Amino acid sequence: MGRMRQKIPMPDSKSEWLDEIVSAYLDAKDALPFSVLVGSEITEKELFHLAPLVCLKFRGIKNTDKNRNRATDAALSSYVANEESNNGILKDPIMAFGFCYILSHYGLDLLSESEGEAILQYIENNLDEMKEKVET
C-alpha cells in the first residue's frame, strides 16, 4: 500500500502564502540536479513547470492524471496568456513559480479567482522579500 501524503494546511494570510511559495520554490529547486536523470535538464528559469506538482504534494492531493492535468492546465495556460504582459514580471523565476503555484490551486478549485488575484498582487508587491527568503 502506498504511503499517505501529509497535507499541509492552506495558508490563512497573504504573508503565509508568500512563505509557502518560498518553501514550494525551494522544494522544486532541490529537484533540479535530478532533472538530468530523466533526460531533460531543467534550469531555475523553468522551475515554474514544477509548480503544479509541488502544489499537489503540499496539499496532499493524489498525483493522478486528472489532478495533475487540472493543476497544470490552469497554471501553464495562464502563464502563456500572461507571459508578455504585466511589465514582464513573469520573466523572474520566483514570480513565475509563484504565479503557477497559485494558479494550480485555482485549477484544483482550492482558491477562487479573487483570492488568487489578491495573493498574486501581494507576492508581486513583495517579490524582493521572497527573493531574500529564497537566498537565505
Rounded to whole angstroms, what are the CA distances from 102 to 40, 55, 117, 136?
25, 8, 9, 23
Dump pLDDT digits (tens) for 27-46: 999 887 776 666 677 778 88
Among the ranges given (31-35, 46-50, 72-76, 129-133), the one the predictor scored with the smallest mean pLDDT: 31-35
- Residue 49 falls inside a structural domain: yes
CA–CA gap between residue 79 and residue 61 (Å, rounded): 22
- Calculate what percentage of the chain has a pLDDT beyond 90: 65
In the chain, the N- to C-terminal Cα span, in Å, equals 38
Residue 34 falls inside a structural domain: yes
Domain that holds residue 70: 14-135
Q: What is the pLDDT of residues 76-123, one digit of tens each?
A: 888 888 877 767 788 899 999 999 999 999 999 999 999 999 999 999
Nearest residue to 22 via CA among 82, 88, 93, 74: 93
Average predicted confidence (pLDDT) for the chain = 88
Residue 3 located in a structural domain: no
Q: How confident is the model at residue 4 (pLDDT cuts 50, 70, 90)?
A: very low
Residue 53 forms part of a structural domain: yes
What is the pLDDT at residue 21?
Answer: 97
